[in-house]
């Protein structure tokens, strides 16, 4: 499942063709290795606003070196700019003043994070300036190159102390394939932070349910949550039971083989979690299927099976777990949507409807949840899996190159994003849908 084109661009003839023909030259992305520091280098902090005074302390808490003073000839791994103090369009020049002198001083696979105030919480010129940050960060994400990422984090008033888990994710290699995204902290639900005892194993002692866990993205979700300390309860169809049992044995987890669309599936899952684990802390609705056909040729079975697995089952399971109070305080509900649910795709009206419905599912529950429980979703773009390896070559190449990083993502990129949502420190991260797509050029 390797990217052969990316390997070719590193060969002598590949480098020559890339240079002379202007072909995409994807940078090999850095990805997190367990036990490694979150940031291998120094973060430059700038800007003046509500968060400026606390940023250095937050980065110190995470073991990340930072500085406000830069030196000629020095290289930096990341830039963080507090833009919450920008209150008019004329103030936006501060973005140019901070970033322009530093962009050529960045190391490979750099990180840029801009912190702002949710525009809906302010008015007048300040609202104009804060909304402008979205265009700035999305454009910079398409310019930065070298495997870099750029994000905008809107921090609600009162949620200043709740940004640590998000900075830990966005500044680290864990966010390798996430770029051009807008994250909201404290906009919905609680604004308070929950203390994380161990940033290497933030899910220690937690129970995590993962559907579709036996292979592909689901397998990587299970592995990453286990790495972070969780006991994983994997769920998959009986046909995948052998793979599921083998994986859960390797991860010292638990398993449940059932069809999540079965009438009694929500009750069986709730009973299993209650009886064997005393509840659940993280619920990841990863199971999904495709049954592609253009709508003119779409039969009822294709439509209903995709909606049933991808959307109706997560709704029913979540409702049962909430009604029976199986989800513990500060629990996490995480859906897997898709870029298809945002931009659409030919031959996937059923799939795109189901994945857009997952986004609606997040919207519908975000304001309802109590006791620190949150709901968020990831929306993967082109992720290299055994399934995408079977896609025709030309289609696969377009899918991999049509993003700011000129390459496909890996299942672990989706898993790392889910682990960020799952962290106890992400209690103020609620109602978000973050695309894991390398910043796709269309629909993003």
State how many domains the chain has.
2
Residue 23 lies inside a defined structural domain of this protein? no
Local mean pLDDT, 10-residue blocks, the chain (444 residues): 70 72 82 95 96 92 94 95 98 98 97 98 97 98 96 96 96 98 93 88 97 96 98 97 97 97 98 98 96 95 97 98 97 96 92 97 96 97 79 70 90 98 97 95 61
Residue 271 lies inside a defined structural domain of this protein? yes
CATH number of the domain residue 65 falls in = 3.40.50.720
Looking at the fold, whether 166 and 226 belong to one and the same domain comes out as: no
Looking at the fold, whether 167 and 212 belong to one and the same domain comes out as: no
The residue from 5, 76, 154, 351 that is catalytic is 351
CA dist., res. 76 & res. 111, Å (int): 9
Looking at the fold, whether 249 and 219 belong to one and the same domain comes out as: yes
Q: Which residues lie across from 81 on neighbouring strands?
A: 46, 114
CA dist., res. 400 & res. 77, Å (int): 26
- Count Cβ atoms below 10 Å from residue 1 Cβ, excluding itself: 11
pLDDT value for 2: 66
| Short-list 176, 192, 165, 194, CA closest to 61 | 165
| Short-list 311, 406, 405, CA closest to 353 | 311
- Count Cβ atoms below 10 Å from residue 228 Cβ, excluding itself: 24
Question: Which residue has 């940031």 as its token pair?
Answer: 39
Which residues does 305 contact at the CB level (< 8 Å), separation at least 6?
261, 289, 291
Domain containing 38 equals 31-185
Return the DSSP state at 198. -
Q: Which residues lie across from 236 on neighbouring strands?
A: 257
pLDDT value for 401: 83
Looking at the fold, whether 107 and 39 belong to one and the same domain comes out as: yes
Looking at the fold, whether 293 and 395 belong to one and the same domain comes out as: yes
Residue 226 lies inside a defined structural domain of this protein? yes
Looking at the fold, whether 146 and 241 belong to one and the same domain comes out as: no
Looking at the fold, whether 271 and 369 belong to one and the same domain comes out as: yes
Looking at the fold, whether 139 and 45 belong to one and the same domain comes out as: yes
Confirm whether 351 is a catalytic residue: yes
Largest CA distance in the chain: 65
Looking at the fold, whether 93 and 181 belong to one and the same domain comes out as: yes
Residue 26 lies inside a defined structural domain of this protein? no
Q: Of 185, 215, 238, which closes a domain? A: 185
| pTM (predicted TM-score) | 0.95
Residue 12 lies inside a defined structural domain of this protein? no
Looking at the fold, whether 287 and 402 belong to one and the same domain comes out as: yes
Looking at the fold, whether 222 and 314 belong to one and the same domain comes out as: yes
Q: Of 127, 153, 185, which closes a domain? A: 185
pLDDT value for 181: 98
Residue 21 lies inside a defined structural domain of this protein? no
Residue 441 lies inside a defined structural domain of this protein? no
Residue 157 lies inside a defined structural domain of this protein? yes
Per DSSP bridges, beta strands 106-116 and 181-185 are unpaired
Q: Of 152, 185, 218, which closes a domain? A: 185
Looking at the fold, whether 264 and 150 belong to one and the same domain comes out as: no
């Amino acid at each position: 499942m390797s990217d052969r084109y990316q390997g070719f661009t590193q060969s002598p003839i590949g480098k020559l063709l890339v240079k002379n023909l202007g072909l995409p030259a994807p940078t090999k992305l850095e990805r997190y290795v367990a036990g490694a520091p979150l940031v291998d280098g120094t973060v430059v902090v700038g800007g003046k606003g509500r968060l400026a005074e606390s940023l250095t302390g937050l980065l110190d808490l995470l073991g990340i070196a930072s500085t406000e003073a830069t030196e000629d000839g020095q290289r930096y791994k990341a830039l963080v700019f507090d833009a919450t103090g920008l209150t008019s369009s004329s103030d936006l020049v501060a973005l140019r003043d901070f970033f322009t002198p530093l962009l050529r001083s960045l190391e490979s696979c750099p990180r840029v994070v801009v912190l702002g105030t949710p525009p809906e919480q302010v008015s007048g010129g300040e609202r104009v300036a804060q909304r402008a940050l979205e265009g700035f960060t999305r454009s910079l994400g398409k310019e930065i190159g070298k495997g870099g990422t750029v994000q905008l984090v809107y921090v609600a008033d009162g949620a200043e102390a709740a940004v640590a888990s998000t900075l830990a994710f966005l500044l680290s290699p864990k966010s390798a394939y996430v770029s051009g995204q807008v994250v909201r902290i404290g906009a919905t639900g609680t604004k308070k932070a929950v203390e994380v005892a161990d940033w290497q194993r933030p899910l220690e002692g937690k129970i995590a349910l993962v559907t579709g866990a036996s292979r592909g993205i689901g397998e990587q979700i299970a592995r990453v949550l286990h790495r972070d300390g969780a006991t994983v309860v994997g769920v998959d169809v009986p046909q995948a039971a052998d793979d599921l049992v083998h994986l859960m044995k390797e991860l010292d987890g638990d398993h449940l083989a059932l069809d999540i669309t079965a009438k009694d599936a929500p009750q069986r899952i709730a009973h299993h979690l209650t009886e064997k684990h005393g509840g659940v802390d993280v619920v990841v609705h990863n199971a999904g299927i495709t049954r592609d056909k253009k709508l003119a040729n779409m039969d009822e079975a294709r439509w209903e099976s995709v909606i049933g697995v991808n959307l109706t089952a997560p709704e029913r399971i979540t409702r049962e777990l909430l009604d029976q109070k199986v989800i513990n305080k500060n629990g996490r509900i995480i859906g897997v949507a898709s870029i298809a649910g945002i931009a659409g795709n030919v031959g996937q009206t059923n799939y795109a409807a189901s994945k857009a419905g997952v986004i609606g599912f997040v919207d519908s529950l975000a304001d309802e949840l109590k006791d620190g429980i949150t709901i968020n979703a990831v929306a993967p773009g082109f992720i290299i899996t055994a399934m995408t390896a079977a896609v025709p070559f030309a289609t696969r190449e377009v899918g991999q190159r049509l993003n700011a990083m000129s390459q496909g993502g890996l299942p672990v990129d989706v898993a790392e994003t889910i682990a960020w949502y799952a962290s106890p420190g992400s209690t103020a991260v609620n109602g978000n849908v973050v695309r894991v797509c390398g910043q796709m050029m269309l629909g993003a």
